[in-house]
Structure 1
């Protein structure tokens, strides 16, 4: 066999080796991160839940997900160990908001009209809007239309022949 024939296989094997090595490094870094956890450390699970480490076992970790609420998780479910500043910023909202930053309200009350006068004005405006004909007829018009269709059918000879 010639070298040209073997070249694609050599390249493929080399690429597989590099991908495997990269994945192995990532796994080792994640294992090291989990081993470096200490009680009191803030973590994020792979499911996106933030909690505080309370106790560490061989394969499990006891997390406090809310004050007084504890849950046992597998160590492999820890996605990231956070430093104290980042954990407090995310969980407790210890952000330094600037005066120029936009503040999003917790509810929609600021988006609705607060005065009844505004609501009355809007209702008056809605009454002035012309109705759009969608091709539907009122009930009285529908009955009248049906009667005229029956009369037309009888005139054309399509009615019941007795």
Structure 2
């Protein structure tokens, strides 16, 4: 009985400590990502919007979501910087004819 209370406290504190540590690491990754943003980067927001960074402020970022359409967002909404490789793949598929797309899907 004397050992039950300390074990119970330990069982409650260890997961809480590990959760706080994991959350702190994720916050550091997010902060590093937002600090590394540069004009011209392709990004995806937490809402899933794909855009290009047009201008960077202290707490905001201007995103070009279409040619000539620039919107202002909080820097916190930037979830990830997209690589050029994923953009090229999506653009290549737009240039295909329906027959070429079907052949690619069939593995020919």
| TM beyond 0.5 | yes
* TM-score normalised by length of structure 1: 0.56
Unaligned runs of 5+ in 1: 103-162
| Alpha-carbon separation, structure 2, partners of 1:94 and 1:77 | 28
Q: Comparing both structures, which one devotes a greater share of its residues to strand? A: 2
- Checking the alignment, whether the CA contact within 8 Å between 1:44 and 1:51 is kept in structure 2 is yes
| Alpha-carbon separation, structure 2, partners of 1:26 and 1:36 | 15
Unaligned runs of 5+ in 2: none
Say how many residue pairs are matched.
100
Query: Structure 1 pair 17/4, CA: closer, same or farther in 2 (3 Å)?
Result: same
Q: Structure 1 residue 81: deviation in Å?
A: 1.0
* TM-score normalised by length of structure 2: 0.82
Tell me which structure has the larger Cα radius of gyration. 1
Q: Structure 1 residue 9: deviation in Å?
A: 1.0
Q: CA RMSD in A?
A: 2.0
Cα deviation 1:99-123 (Å, max 9, x = unaligned) = 3416xxxxxxxxxxxxxxxxxxxxx
Q: Structure 1 residue 25: deviation in Å?
A: 0.5
Q: Which consecutive aligned stretches of 4+ in structure 1 deviate over 6 angstroms post-superposition?
A: none
3-state secondary structure, aligned to 1:52: strand
